[in-house]
Structure 1
Amino acid sequence: MPQPVPELHAPSHWTAIDILSDLHLQAGLPATMAAWAHHLHTAPVQAVILLGDVFELWVGDDAAEAGSFEAHCAALLQEVSRTKALYFMPGNRDFLVGPDFLARSGVQALSDPTVLVAFGRRWLLSHGDALCLDDGDYQAFRRQVRDPAWQQAFLAQPLAQRRAVATRMRATSERRKREQGFDGYGDLDPAATLQWLRACQAHALIHGHTHRPGDHPLPDGRLRHVLSDWDFDDPHHAPRGEVLRLQAEGLRRVTVSVPR
C-alpha cells in the first residue's frame, strides 16, 4: 500500500454518494450499458465513484475514436459530469484508462487505495485485486502490467495489435476462472485487509473485483463491504446490479432498476 494514502474529502453540501464497480462494459452488452446510463442520469446523488472494471477491456485512450463504443462512454460521462461529480479508480480490466479519456469525460482519477472522508467517517476505497494475495500468479501479472515501462511499451504498439493482445489475455483469464471454479477464485487476504484499514484509520473497506457482494465484520469493529458486479444482458439469469449508497445515515445497498 502506498504511503501516504490519498484522501478524497466530500464537500459539506453532498448528501449522497453512489459507489459501484465491475460493470465490465463492452459493445456487446447493450442492456447493461443502458442500465448504467439510466442510473448515472437518475440517481439522487451528488457524486458517483467507479471502483474499477467499468470496462471489460481498455487498450489505450486512443481507442475512443469517433463513433466507437469508448467514445460513446466518454460522451455519456461528460454529460453526467455537468450535474454530478464523477471519480474513477482503475481495476484489473481497465487499468490503462488514462488522463486523456478522463479529462474528455469530466471524470477525476483516484489512486488505489484512496480514503473517502465523508459524513464524519473514513472509508477506505479499493478495487480489491491488490489484496488477493493467495493468487500468486495474478499478483505477478499485476506487478508486470502496472509497471510504467511495460505500459509504455504496450501503448506504443498499433491499436489493432493491442486489441488482439488484450483479447488473448482476457481469454486466458476466463479460462483460469473456469478451471478454478467460483469457490477457487481468490478473495481478499484478511490480515492484509485489516492492516490497510488500521494504517488508514478507516473503519470500513469498500471494494469490488470478487463479484461476491456482501458485508463482512472484521476485528476491532471494522467492516468490509463488497460491491456487486452488473449483468443485464445474460438471458439465462435475472438482471444483476447494485450500488452502495453512502449518506449521513450510513451505507445501504440499492438495486439498480432496469430502464423502461
Structure 2
Amino acid sequence: MKRRSSGASFNLTLMHKTFFISDLHLTPSRPDITACFLEFMRYEAIHCDALYVLGDLFDFWVGDDDNSPFAVQIRSAFKALTSSGVPCYFIQGNRDFLLGKRFARQTGVTVLPEEYVIELYGRRAVILHGDTLCIEDYSYQAFRKKVHQPWLQFIFNRLPMFIKRKIVAQIQSDARSDKQTKQLEIMDVTPSEVVRVMQKHDVELMIHGHTHRPNIHTDSAHQQTRIVLGDWYEQGSLLVVTPDDYYLDTRDFAL
C-alpha cells in the first residue's frame, strides 16, 4: 500500500476502497454539513467495502433515546447503508460517547472499542478517535475519565430529554471556554503516546481524528505512519484506502 496525493481522478464505484471519516459534528444548526454527509452516504459510501466513523459524528449525542427529526434522519442514513450490504463501524468520540447499543440495533452499525486493530487490504492498522493520545491535556483527560464512569452514564441516560439538553449546553460552553486558554500543542497528540499505542498493537499504521489537523505523518525511525482525519467544518473530509494506495480527500458543501 503506497501513499497517494489527494484528489481522485477516477471512478470510485469501479474499485475496492474503504472510507474513514470523523469529526463531522453534525447538528441541526449546520444543514450544510448534514446535506454533504447525506449525499456522501447515498452516492459514495454505498459503493465502498466498509465505512469507519472514528468519533464525533455529532456535535453532541445526548443519548440513543433522541427521537428528534434530525436524529431519526441520521439513523435512517446509516440503516440504508448497512441494509445495502455495506458494513459500518463506529468508534465513540468525545462528543458522542453516549452512542450505544440501541443506536447500533437501529442502524446496523457495529460499535468498536476505543482502540481497535483492523486488517486493511493485507496491512494491520490500529484505529481510534484520537482523544486518548492527547495525554498532556490534563483537564480534558480528567473530564473524559469522569464522563466515562458507567454509573454516571446510567443516571444521565435516564434523565428527561430537556434536562439532558440543558446539561449538554453547559458542557459545550465550558469546553469552548477551556479551549481558549490552552496552547495548541497541548490539544495535539503526544508523540510518545502514539509510539506506545502502535507498539502495543504491533502495527505500523494508525488512523485517527479528533485533532482536526488532517495530515499523513511518517516516522522513519519507527517505520510508522499516522493518518489524521480532517473535520467537516468547512468541507467534507475523508480518507480513502484502496488495496494499492491511500489519500485524504475533500468534498465541497453545496452552495
Q: Deviations over 1:203-257 (max 9, x none)?
A: 11110000111111223210111000002xxxxxxx3221011111122112124
RMSD: 1.6
3-state SS, counterpart of residue 83 of structure 2: coil
Which of structure 1's runs of 4+ aligned residues deviate more than 2 A? 178-181, 257-260
Given that residues 131 and 193 in structure 1 are in contact (C-alpha distance below 8 angstroms), is that contact kept between their aligned partners in structure 2?
A: yes
CA contact (8 A) 1:227 1:242 kept: yes
| Runs of at least 5 residues in structure 2 that lack an aligned partner in the other structure | 1-14
Q: Identify the match of residue 63 of structure 2 among 46, 60, 66.
A: 60
Match of 2:119 among 117, 120, 123: 117
Separation of aligned partners in 1, 2:61 and 2:75: 13
User: 1:136-170 CA deviation, whole Å, 9 max, x = no partner?
Assistant: 11111101111111111211222111111011001
Q: Show the 5 A alignment for 1:210-225.
A: 210-218=211-219, 219-225=221-227
Tell me which of the two structures has the higher relative contact order, counting C-alpha pairs closer than 8 angstroms and 6 or more residues apart: 2
AA matched with 1:46: D
TM-score (norm 2): 0.88
1:207 alignment counterpart = 208
- SS of structure 2 residue aligned to 1:169: helix
Write the distance in 2 (CA, Å) between the matches of 1:184 and 1:224: 17
Q: Deviations over 1:6-63 (max 9, x none)?
A: xxxxxxxx92110000000011111100101111122241211000000011111111
Report how far residue 68 of structure 1 moved. Answer: 2.3
> After superposition, what is the alpha-carbon deviation per residue over 1:159-188, rounded to whole angstroms, capped at 9, x for unaligned?
11111101100111111222336x355111
Q: TM-score, normalised by structure 1?
A: 0.87
2:53 corresponds to which residue?
Answer: 50
The answer to whether the Cα contact below 8 Å between 1:58 and 1:93 also exists between their aligned partners in 2 is yes
Q: Which residue does the alignment assign to 1:3?
A: none
Aligned residues: 237
Cα distance in 2 between the residues matched to 1:42 and 1:253 = 18
Secondary structure in structure 2 of the residue aligned to 1:52: coil
Instruction: For residue 69 of structure 1, give the secondary structure of its aligned residue in structure 2.
Output: helix
Counterparts in 2 of 1:229-244, with a 5 A limit?
229-231=231-233, 239-244=234-239
**Displacement of 1:76 after TM fit?**
1.4
2:93 to 91, 94, 97: 91
1:60-104 deviation per Cα after TM superposition (whole angstroms, max 9, x unaligned): 1111x2x52111111111112222211111000000001111211
Kept in 2, the 8 Å contact 1:177–1:185? The answer is no
Q: Secondary structure at the match of 1:180?
A: coil
Question: Following the alignment from structure 1 to structure 2, what is the Cα–Cα distance between the partners of residues 108 and 59?
Answer: 19
